[in-house]
């Protein structure tokens, strides 16, 4: 189980959210058999999606983060719900590139140049969609840029994934600090002072600090109240019914063509579950398709 907390300063000006996404990143690694750098990239995006999902107000709201980069990892997608449960995948799960010049996993090199798209399905007629150019491809800076450009909300984002030599996940997660509108200059200065010399999120988490302690360490000049917490997990919501609906949407001609094969297997991108259809089952589905 992961853990996520939302806190607010007693002054009401600063919000801090933090997630321990170690188990989520571990599950993603096991499903997708990612290499170290793609585990880091996907784990960071899942941690961000989990926190941003947790900030959604409606119970059935969902959030999708999609990175389209020209690097060897290809597209990376993370989807979350309003409790921070999330799932994701990376187009090319195995990428082997050298460490960056700081001796760290080169997430930016795996992603390359491109865009970050944020989609929020809030149960309205049209989803909210915003797209920004990637700033660094390290993901945390790109999320910060998204909030500045698209939501005009000053945000500090930290994300991290520590990968063990055997490719299991030692620690993963991050935090988001946001300033509410009309925050005073003094508050902004106090937030900035607190972030100087702050250890990395995964350093703090793997040293045994709780999420409450990490938020307090990042905002030492503020008193924080915990608003709520939940226990998000890596969760896929695929089902045979959903796969059938997706097949029907491909159209009558396509399904009739697929039905010529004795057996067709459809694999869920998010959890690798395999759904098997016989030719006659596909023919039956084609009768429900329009064109
Ligand atoms: Zn699935």
Please, which residues have CB within 8 angstroms of residue 163's CB and are 6 or more apart in sequence? 36, 39, 40, 105, 169, 170
Q: How far is the CA of 4 from the centre of ligand 1 (A)?
A: 23
Q: Could you read off the pLDDT of 70-105 as tens digits, one per residue?
A: 999 999 999 999 999 999 999 999 999 999 999 999
Residues 189, 192, 193, 195, Cα dihedral to 10°: 160
Side-chain-side CA neighbours of residue 189 (13 Å):
3
CA of 87 to the centre of ligand 1 (A): 9
From the CA of 248, how far away is ligand 1's center (Å)? 18
- Report the predicted TM-score, pTM, of the whole model to 2 decimal places: 0.94
The β-bridge relationship of strands 114-121 and 62-69 is: antiparallel
From CA 117, how far away is CA 131, in angstroms rounded? 4
Query: What is the distance between the alpha carbons of residues 173 and 272, in angstroms, rounded to a whole number?
Result: 23
Tokens 């939940």 belong to which residue?
230
Confidence band (pLDDT; 50, 70, 90) for 268?
Answer: very high
* 239 Cα–ligand 1 center, Å: 7
Residues with CB under 5 A from ligand 1 (ion): 236, 238, 268, 270-271, 273
Per-residue model confidence (pLDDT) at position 291: 66
Ligand 1 centroid vs 223 CA: distance in angstroms?
Answer: 41
User: Which domains are present in the chain?
Assistant: 3-230 (3.55.30.10), 240-286 (3.90.1280.10)
Q: Which residues, 6 or more positions from 15, have their beta carbon under 8 angstroms from its beta carbon? A: 6, 7, 8, 9, 176, 177, 178, 180
Ligand 1 centroid – CA 243 distance (Å):
9
């Amino acid at each position: 189980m992961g853990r996520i907390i939302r806190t607010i300063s007693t002054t009401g000006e600063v919000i801090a959210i933090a997630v321990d996404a170690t188990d989520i990143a571990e599950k993603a690694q096991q499903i997708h058999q990612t290499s170290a750098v793609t585990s880091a990239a996907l784990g960071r995006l899942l941690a961000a999606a989990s926190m941003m999902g947790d900030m959604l107000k409606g119970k059935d709201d969902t959030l999708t983060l999609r990175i389209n980069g020209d690097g060897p990892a290809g597209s990376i997608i993370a989807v979350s719900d309003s409790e921070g449960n999330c799932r994701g995948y990376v187009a090319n799960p195995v990428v082997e590139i050298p460490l960056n010049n700081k001796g760290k996993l080169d997430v930016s090199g795996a992603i390359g140049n491109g865009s970050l798209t944020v989609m929020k399905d809030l149960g309205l007629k049209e989803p909210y969609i915003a797209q920004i150019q990637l700033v660094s491809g390290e993901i945390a800076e790109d999320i910060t840029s998204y909030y500045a450009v698209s939501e005009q909300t000053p945000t500090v984002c930290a994300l991290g994934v520590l990968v063990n030599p055997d490719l299991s996940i030692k620690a993963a997660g991050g935090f988001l600090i946001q300033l509410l509108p009309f925050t005073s200059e003094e508050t902004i200065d106090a937030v900035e002072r607190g972030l100087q010399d702050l250890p990395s999120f995964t350093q703090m988490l793997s040293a045994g600090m709780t999420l409450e302690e990490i938020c307090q360490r990042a905002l030492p000049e503020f008193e924080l109240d915990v608003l709520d917490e939940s226990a998000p997990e890596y969760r896929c919501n695929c089902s045979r019914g959903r796969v059938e609906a997706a097949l029907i949407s491909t159209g009558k001609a396509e399904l009739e063509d697929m039905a010529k094969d004795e057996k067709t297997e459809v694999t869920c991108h998010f959890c690798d579950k395999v759904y098997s259809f016989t030719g006659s089952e596909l023919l039956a589905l084609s009768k429900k398709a329009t064109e």
